[in-house]
Amino acid sequence: MLEIVFTDGRIGSKAVKIIGVSENAKIVSKALNDDEAALVKKAVAQSGFKGKNGTFVEVFGTGGKIIVAGLGDKPDAVSLQKLGGSLAKKLFKDAVACYYVEEIKGCKLSLAEIAHNIAFGLTIGSYRFDKYFTKKKQEEYPSLEQVIFKVKNPEAVNESYRRFAALGNAVRYARDLCNEPANYLTPEVFADDIQRLSYLGLDIEILDKKALQEKEFGMLLSAAQGSCNDPRVQWRGKPDQEAFDCGLVGKGVTFDSGGISLKPGAGMGDMKRDMTGAAVVVSSLKALALQKAPVNVIGIVGLVENMPDAMATRPGDVVTSLSGQTVEILNTDAEGRLVLGDIMWYLQSNYNVHTLIDIATLTGATMRALGNQYAGIFCNNDKLCNELIKAGEASDEKLWRLPLGEGYNKMINSDIADMKNLGGVNAGGSTAACFLERFVLKGNAWAHLDIAGVDTEDKGTSLCPKGSTGFGVRVLNYYLNAKN
């Protein structure tokens, strides 16, 4: 991973020199000597550069390469993160670079915050998943190894950067998990990888298939063919407090064929990412542990494969959930809510959890409604909902509230059981959320984040290449840290 360094010392001559310029501002920087300043001003005038965010001018002087980076008008944390991501691509073939941190006109952030956000953008924007290439040429891999930030009080800036470094590590971990092929990331392998995180001080327990059968996780087991695991991950940043500030629940379908209700073949390969919710929950706990955040959080993920075979659940079957409620299975491709319902109930029944957030790539209906701009949030508590939406704005992982209600809830009533796992062709996101709400204990605050549509990037952005985004790690981290 790219190394980030903060220093007030001398910078080596081999480092690319980077200065930031806000929109329509004069180019004045203590980082440039007179000759360099003249070269830069001439290049800027010839290029028509105006300082818009994500635009650059390159100058080659006697002292080496200089990049003038456009910061935009009154840059904020998110725009600086995006600038960092753009710089990661701009510096692709450079080994070392130095960003000179200076005051920015119209920017409300401190010098340390400017450095933190650009560095965070560099960290997640430089992410790549190259694990399975065997014939790619060396020159096709990035050369960038280190970005130095020239700042005052580097020790203090480095210490306060720890939260960002931990979050960047967690985002990259989530993307790694989600980009893995399903034949490599089975439920057992995923569970083993989670167990490995105990070195961070996380308390981890894994229920295997036998334990799940003994405890009667009826819905989860109905969705599982072959292997299944149910890891529980706990972080206590406030060890003297018994209660948990929050419980996180993640859908972990490591491959979703649809089961007997088989999905169409086109695009089925993307169903290796139906475990994104689980990856986000585990990565969120990893971030808290690395940050040593003073918050108590417990997470649980249901890891299964949804495959058709002679023993697979059939449409029309009735299963009994861990809660004792019965469910008529109308469609075996609506399996995620079955997994979530059982583990939500287990977490609330066995641990001191009164605020619950589940996250899942759950419905195509939510994806069709919101596209790749927002994740859907369904919530039974206005305060919790508003706090999560605010965290989404701050982290640039935006949430849009979608409705619950008795009308939608009635749509999942069954003629032969307590409920059915499908509400019909309309309002699929809301009826799925209503199904989950039936597994929330009375009085508990609960939010459901449907991240279908935002879990994958099809074209690539400044902060994420093509592939898995890790959406959810940032918004949950911002929300949980705000509880301190």
Distances from the Cα of 66 to the Cα of 188, 232, 267, 374, angstroms = 49, 49, 44, 37
Q: Which of 417, 436, 405, 266 is nearest to 334 (CA)?
A: 436
What is the bridge-based pairing of β-strands 64-72 and 419-420? unpaired
Cβ atoms of residues 429 and 366 within 8 Å: yes
Place of tokens 């529980």: 232
Identified catalytic residue from 50, 263, 390, 483:
263
Taking the C-alpha atoms of residue 166 and residue 170, their distance in angstroms, rounded to an integer, is 6
Report the DSSP beta bridge partners of residue 236: 296
Q: Which of 299, 275, 304 is nearest to 286 (CA)?
A: 299
CB-CB neighbours of 236 under 10 Å = 18
Cβ atoms of residues 219 and 419 within 8 Å: no
- In angstroms, the first-to-last Cα distance of the chain is 29
Task: Identify whether 337 is a catalytic site residue.
Answer: yes
Crossing angle of the two packed helices 162-179 and 111-125, in degrees rounded to 10: 20
Taking the C-alpha atoms of residue 191 and residue 424, their distance in angstroms, rounded to an integer, is 34
Identified catalytic residue from 286, 337, 438, 474:
337
Taking the C-alpha atoms of residue 394 and residue 412, their distance in angstroms, rounded to an integer, is 35
**Residues 57, 59, 63, 68: what is their CA dihedral angle, to the nearest 10 degrees?**
-10
Distances from the Cα of 374 to the Cα of 259, 423, 476, angstroms = 28, 23, 15
Cβ atoms of residues 302 and 278 within 8 Å: yes
Cβ atoms of residues 353 and 242 within 8 Å: no
Taking the C-alpha atoms of residue 353 and residue 333, their distance in angstroms, rounded to an integer, is 29
Q: Which residues are catalytic?
A: 263, 337
